Structure 1
């Protein structure tokens, strides 16, 4: 392993492999980072060469049948987070054996879909062993997450590891203990065992996961597809059950998009419910649309466990001045609810699998006795334009500044932002930003729902997995697109291309109503599962 320094960009030249001096600096840094990651996976945890054919798209069953996990480790990694905590606290399982099982499965996941950025399995196993030893003596659990392995998105600062967020400029700058993110500290204080961090797109600014350091993270259900972004590494790892619980961030769909793509439950909270202090963000200082922290998991119960644990830690009393002093609220959810559904925003009609999932959810809710009504929005394009105005004030210059440090080229998908810094597009002024923020505030009183723009209104939202793309049920209908945006989406769709990809729905609640929304999400999930059981699924 090369030397690790906290110095300037020029200092990092000592951390690159020998024999690569002719390569650009950013490529040499990336090679070293990937080599370090590979060395963190024990040889006995490696898949035999050719064991999984390159053209095998769905790899979700590989961890169970590859022979690396023992039978008990297979059973452990199939369990959800809340049940694992219960079994560890009852001493049916130890934190060490649970952590070992997930370290091994995470290593398998990495080899299948390239989902990890930082690996610290050895340190995690030491932490788990220490928790077991202390628990054996005291009989007192370390917290609600006692002994549970938890994975973190790359942007969370963890002592001794990088939070590069896709920039080679931020590589080889391991966090010190006092620099750890508030969520990192809360996880430790409540008994969690941190064992890895997951891949992200450059600067956390894309709906798919790719960067020059670690490359592309694909979808475990169909490796020709994206795992989403920017919490795409997290979603891919969780989908392969390489972690029982993970933590992501969301400033424009970055939790919900990957959770939907990979068949997971998730929560995007309103800003201020969960601490964001200490995150490494590609857009530090951008406060027009605030980044939020939220959980991703395989059940609503696990999402509730994490959320309740974090809020009961009273983060507003520690070192995050932005956290709101709102304690966890135990609420009774009415037996009968009224849901609103949006089938078409008038700009881009959802693709057949998404429409089918929404209608399937509607039918399940109605069968369970709930009411479902359709609604429309007067001018959805207005808010979509407003979101761009709010974001772009800082994005272009911030990304350009960080890329220039190594220097690293602009990635695909950022052409518009690159044009701003090259003077081809007018960048935002402070007045322009203030005007956009004033419009946002005004619009919040009249605009209730829109799937991809809840960050602008600061509403909370969850995801619920519903189905998978079906060759038979999701055949492409005859449809004439209404505009260029819709034409671009529909022309790339065919059920064969998206075969076996998960499909989810999003539930949205009003600002700062996370407890209520989670209760409603539970009701929706129960209705869907009841509906599927009636149909023999």
Structure 2
């Protein structure tokens, strides 16, 4: 009598995936466990990397490419250095999902051999290791997006994401993928497959979500350049928590076709791809490289806009959002806003305090869109893997359970989309009216805002408020992040007794705030321009970064 094999439990599937990943880290790259809270310097001090490899991994991406093109470095050596540092980063923060170091080293060697013969660089990212968020399909490895049901289902070549292909055509060496929250719909990165990814500046804190694995890896310089995605803040929140530069473009600039989604078919708010790095120059390098590959020839949804050189006025006027009226930022973020304002004014620019158009309405639209199917898709994938709902998705479960007998209909979605278009029209008019206060005859050149109410939140304490980022997803505006400072308990003491919360979410966040607990966390802000102004946003971010540096 044949015995039917027992299906492994979700915990067994997860344990096997983690064990298989960890087995791909060579023993000589392993480090002893540490109880340290701040591990940002461990890669340099643990003894795994040689002095040359430390130097390589501390070098900005554009300089690495230049050195490889000049023959001063080999792609193999650069890739090996970053594979080792990525392995260390994973042991410290649990940032990686899929590891393909051996394949990367093989490709890097082939690039070196080809270049020795042709003397022609493979592309603008010639030989450069690049990491990818877990939702990009790469041949031969899983794309779990945190779902148990999607484990052990490696992508075939024909299913590779268009961005994966573009990266290769740019000359990049893909070497790992990074952790995300389940369905990429939580602002912290944890799931039932891989577990929780912590912040390397303070491992009591979150690395953010949904591109949190990228954030932690890049902060530890385990990659010189990474690619994340953003539908409500998923690039900017991790970049902010981990002290990175990043770019959230408008939809249509960087190819998105073929990436895996936790909400497939949800196109009312379009997910976008964008770069993340410790280096603004690396973010610019990636952006131009991708657009120069004419992504509209890969992805039918892309807009044929070549990369543009932009000229900005000598004297600029920025809008400044100090509070969105729903959740006031915690003290480190407010300090960063005021320091940035002072730095820009010292550099000769004007900064005007401003409030965006009805952020509570934008927040409502986001919630309505993300649960527009009644939570059906996520419920299906959770059930397929026979796994429990992660804490951050309990709202989707409640939505699904409450609507089982009365599921949403298409007409309801159309109503929300009409409301969104009306909101965007009013939001645009509100921005354009700023020309009355700028003194330049122009509306704001850009707006500077918190990325979140936190510098970086404690684990499992984000409390769902993403209105500072998601408003610009509704508007489809271009946005960047930039680091300003770090949490300092002496400067960032709470003033809870002097502040009365306006709602329950704000009360939770302020009651939980503790500068001592968040010590060392990066404090970052975002810069927003209007739709399809990626080049302008990056150039203005350079202006802001220069002013902050001059003021320090």
Same fold (TM over 0.5): yes
* CA–CA distance in structure 2, aligned partners of residues 483 and 34 of structure 1: 40
* CA–CA distance in structure 1, aligned partners of residues 468 and 398 of structure 2: 28
Q: 1:296 aligns with which of 271, 276, 279?
A: 276
Flag the 1:437–1:263 CA change in 2: closer, same or farther, 3 A: same
**Within the alignment, does 1:249 sit opposite 2:266 as a pair?**
no
C-alpha deviations, 1:89-147, integer Å up to 9, x for none? Answer: 11111101000000000000000000000000000000001101111111100000001
C-alpha deviations, 1:462-484, integer Å up to 9, x for none? Answer: 00000000010000113221221
SS of the aligned residue for 1:233 comes to helix
**C-alpha deviation, 1:378, in angstroms:** 5.2
Q: 1:373 aligns with which of 349, 352, 355?
A: 352
Q: 1:451 aligns with which of 461, 464, 468?
A: 468
Counterpart in 1 of 2:481?
463
**C-alpha deviation, 1:431, in angstroms:** 1.9
Counterpart in 1 of 2:547?
527
Q: 1:339 aligns with which of 310, 318, 325?
A: 318
Q: Which moved more, 1:500-509 or 1:402-411?
A: 402-411
Maintained 8 Å contact 2:185/2:393:
no
Maintained 8 Å contact 2:137/2:260:
yes
* CA–CA distance in structure 2, aligned partners of residues 209 and 462 of structure 1: 20
C-alpha deviations, 1:19-53, integer Å up to 9, x for none? Answer: xx6x95222211111111011100100003x4x2x
Counterpart in 1 of 2:27?
43
Maintained 8 Å contact 2:357/2:426:
no
Counterpart in 2 of 1:131?
111
C-alpha deviations, 1:202-259, integer Å up to 9, x for none? Answer: 0111100001111000000000100000000000000000000000000000000000
Counterpart in 1 of 2:252?
272
Q: 1:136-215 maps to which residues of 2 (within 5 A)?
A: 136-215=116-195
> TM (normalized to structure 1)?
0.92
Maintained 8 Å contact 2:333/2:523:
yes
**C-alpha deviation, 1:395, in angstroms:** 6.5
Maintained 8 Å contact 1:153/1:197:
yes
**Within the alignment, does 1:260 sit opposite 2:240 as a pair?**
yes
> TM (normalized to structure 2)?
0.90
* CA–CA distance in structure 2, aligned partners of residues 94 and 252 of structure 1: 38
C-alpha deviations, 1:346-373, integer Å up to 9, x for none? Answer: 2211110000001111111111111111
* CA–CA distance in structure 1, aligned partners of residues 230 and 328 of structure 2: 24
Maintained 8 Å contact 2:374/2:400:
no
Number of residue pairs matched by the alignment? 508
Counterpart in 2 of 1:438?
418
Maintained 8 Å contact 2:321/2:356:
no
**Within the alignment, does 1:84 sit opposite 2:61 as a pair?**
no
Flag the 1:24–1:412 CA change in 2: closer, same or farther, 3 A: farther
* CA–CA distance in structure 1, aligned partners of residues 50 and 319 of structure 2: 46
Counterpart in 2 of 1:506?
526
Q: 1:217-256 maps to which residues of 2 (within 5 A)?
A: 217-256=197-236
Maintained 8 Å contact 2:254/2:291:
yes
C-alpha deviations, 1:290-339, integer Å up to 9, x for none? Answer: 10000001121111100000000001123x11111111111112222110
Maintained 8 Å contact 1:451/1:506:
no
Runs of 5+ consecutive residues of structure 2 not aligned to the other structure: 432-446, 448-466
Maintained 8 Å contact 1:392/1:428:
no
Maintained 8 Å contact 1:392/1:427:
no
Maintained 8 Å contact 2:371/2:399:
no
Maintained 8 Å contact 2:137/2:259:
yes
Counterpart in 2 of 1:362?
341
**C-alpha deviation, 1:178, in angstroms:** 1.3
Maintained 8 Å contact 2:341/2:351:
yes
**C-alpha deviation, 1:263, in angstroms:** 0.2
Q: 1:34-73 maps to which residues of 2 (within 5 A)?
A: 34-48=18-32, 50=33, 52=34, 54=35, 56-73=36-53
Counterpart in 1 of 2:394?
415
Runs of 5+ consecutive residues of structure 1 not aligned to the other structure: 1-12, 15-20, 533-537
* CA–CA distance in structure 1, aligned partners of residues 505 and 355 of structure 2: 19
Maintained 8 Å contact 1:393/1:427:
no
Maintained 8 Å contact 1:37/1:119:
yes
Flag the 1:99–1:395 CA change in 2: closer, same or farther, 3 A: farther
Maintained 8 Å contact 2:103/2:175:
yes
* CA–CA distance in structure 2, aligned partners of residues 418 and 406 of structure 1: 15
Flag the 1:229–1:242 CA change in 2: closer, same or farther, 3 A: same
**Within the alignment, does 1:518 sit opposite 2:538 as a pair?**
yes
**C-alpha deviation, 1:505, in angstroms:** 0.7
Q: 1:472 aligns with which of 478, 481, 490?
A: 490
* CA–CA distance in structure 2, aligned partners of residues 345 and 42 of structure 1: 48
**C-alpha deviation, 1:272, in angstroms:** 0.9
**Within the alignment, does 1:75 sit opposite 2:95 as a pair?**
no
Counterpart in 1 of 2:507?
487
Q: 2:266 aligns with which of 278, 283, 286?
A: 286
Flag the 1:240–1:395 CA change in 2: closer, same or farther, 3 A: farther
**C-alpha deviation, 1:428, in angstroms:** 3.5
Flag the 1:378–1:278 CA change in 2: closer, same or farther, 3 A: closer
* CA–CA distance in structure 2, aligned partners of residues 126 and 504 of structure 1: 37
